[in-house]
Amino acid sequence: PPPLPILPLPSFSQLKWQQREVIMFLHFGPNTFTDSEWGTGAESPAIFNPTALDATQWAATAAAAGISLMILTAKHHDGFCLWPSKYTTHSVSRSPWKNGQGDVVEEFVTAATAQRIDVGLYLSPWDRHDRRYSHDLPYNEYYLAQLQELLKKYGNVKEIWFDGAKGQNAPNMSYYFSDWFAMVKELQSSINIFSDAGPDVRWVGNEKGFAGTSCWSTINRTSLAIGAEGITQYLNKGDPKGRDWVPPECDVSIREGLIPQKDAQILKQFKNTIDRIFTTNLAQNCSIKASSQRGQEFGPQNVIDDDHLWTYWAPKEDVDDHWIEIRSQGNERLRFNVVRIQEAIGLGQRIGRHEIYLDGKRIVDERESRSIGYKRLYRIKSGVVCGYALKVRFIEFKGVPLISSLGLHLDPFWNPTRLSSVPT
């Protein structure tokens, strides 16, 4: 029989989200015109008058970069709605853009859908414009009405962002998260909800793009409150003892508006770099050996097939020493600088400490190899290494290690002493 999963487990929608790997987030609105990150709420709708708005350019940029989901700020902290909400006049309906007849959310959804890109929305809980804000019940009702509007009107929405940012204008204002989330799930059954506390995706704890050196998709939601102080370290690392499956999402902001040529180009290069590194897996031509195998179906060959989720190597349960080895078939040494390891997370995240050896020599720092999860990429610090056999030994695990994919890759342009040597 197959091994039993260990709890907690990702939902089907969370697995789909995990496989996206790269998501585009568009922060567009009055801030674009005032060049600020947080508006005050006092901005006049008159300032929202884009002359070059082109949602097709956003979607084309995303498509060229292989991105499968784009998220748009339908309303940021300034309270201005990019769609003509029935519940406020502080929206595109009062702006000169398209004589008040425009709808950015609709243009965004149409453009994304035309490129087969899924959409996500951001609706800021903190609202510095609406007068209901600071009155719990009226504001929560207003917010619910807008959620309902957005999630009914624009088709499938695959991710929704609940930003924990909250200013001092109403410090005691409470949000009815459980009502909001229930509404969201009822209207969009395969959506993933992002917030500091999930339930489906959590913030990674910084806006610099860094996940913890150890990083667990598991965490205890009871230790998290949306917008709370002092939780960023916990969010960053997750919790090997966590009872909830809430993987982290990294967000990094650059600049706003129409996507500048320079950014579109770098994004394309980013995709090319990923393709260049990962299209060839040197392990593909190697012999794969493991400490034990659970039965026919669970052999080590599964780590080099195309399925990176549901076919995996499983060792026997009653053995303590678990390892897997990739060995060059001929006299040629393997030459690589990236090691990729993926757990079969459909059955839970299991692996803690592990060791990676090339011809018997450790090549990854002990402090940096304490979790794996969906996909762990080790860039070898010393640069390109050569050898005949790579062995991964599993030292700590919550249940027998299940490996869905292993890769040895070469990034020909990466040189540890000259990080700037990326070609154009």
- Where do contacts with ligand IPT occur on this chain (CB under 6 A)? 163-165, 196, 203, 207, 227, 251
The answer to whether the CB of 44 falls within 8 A of the CB of 94 is no
Token reading at 15: 């697995």
> Which residues are CB-contacts of 75 (< 8 A; sequence separation ≥ 6)?
29, 81, 82, 122, 123, 124, 127, 146
Nearer to ligand IPT, 98 or 166 (CB): 166
Radius of gyration of the chain (CA): 24
Q: Which is nearer to ligand IPT, 47 or 165 (CB)?
A: 165
Which ranges of 115-256 would DSSP assign to H, the alpha helix? 136-153, 177-187, 232-237
Q: Which CB sits closer to ligand IPT, 165 or 170? A: 165
CA distances from 357 to 210, 215, 379, 391, 395 (A): 26, 22, 14, 5, 13
- Nearer to ligand IPT by Cβ, of 207 and 396: the residue is 207
Q: Do residues 370 and 386 touch, judged by C-beta distance below 8 A? A: no
Smallest gap, in angstroms, from Cβ of residue 98 to ligand IPT? 30
Q: Are 309 and 348 in contact (CB under 8 A)?
A: no
Reduced to 3 states, what is the DSSP secondary structure of residue 415? coil
CB 105 within 8 A of CB 149: no
Residues 239, 217 contacting (CB under 8 angstroms): no
Q: How far is the CB of 218 from ligand IPT (least distance, A)?
A: 20
Taking a C-beta distance cutoff of 8 angstroms, is the pair 22, 67 a contact?
Answer: yes
CB 202 within 8 A of CB 235: yes
The closest residue (CB) to ligand IPT is 164
Nearer to ligand IPT, 116 or 208 (CB): 208
In whole angstroms, how close is the CB of 167 to ligand IPT at the nearest point? 10
The residue among 118 and 163 lying less far from ligand IPT, judged by its C-beta, is 163
CB of 196 vs ligand IPT, minimal distance in Å: 4
End-to-end CA separation in angstroms for the chain: 50
CB–CB of 245/197 below 8 Å?
A: no
Least Å distance between CB 216 and ligand IPT? 19
Nearer to ligand IPT, 32 or 95 (CB): 32
Q: Are 156 and 192 in contact (CB under 8 A)?
A: no
CB of 81 to ligand IPT, least distance (A): 19
The tokens for 299 are 């052999």
Nearer of residues 159 and 196 to ligand IPT, judged by Cβ: 196
Q: How far is the CB of 224 from ligand IPT (least distance, A)?
A: 10
Q: Which CB atom, from 87 or from 177, has the smaller least distance to ligand IPT? A: 177
CB of 71: closest distance to ligand IPT in angstroms?
A: 12
In whole angstroms, give the CA distance from residue 160 to residue 151: 10
Shortest distance, CB of residue 24 to ligand IPT, whole angstroms?
15
Nearer to ligand IPT, 164 or 346 (CB): 164
Angle separating helix axes 261-278 and 55-64, nearest 10 degrees: 20
Smallest gap from Cβ 316 to ligand IPT, in A, equals 44
C-beta of 75 vs 322, nearer to ligand IPT = 75
Give the type of residue at 75: K
Sole residue written with tokens 């869905």: 404
User: CB 328 → ligand IPT: shortest distance, Å?
Assistant: 44
Which helix (H) or strand (E) segment holds residue 168: the answer is none
Report the distance separating Cα 343 and Cα 297, nearest Å.
17
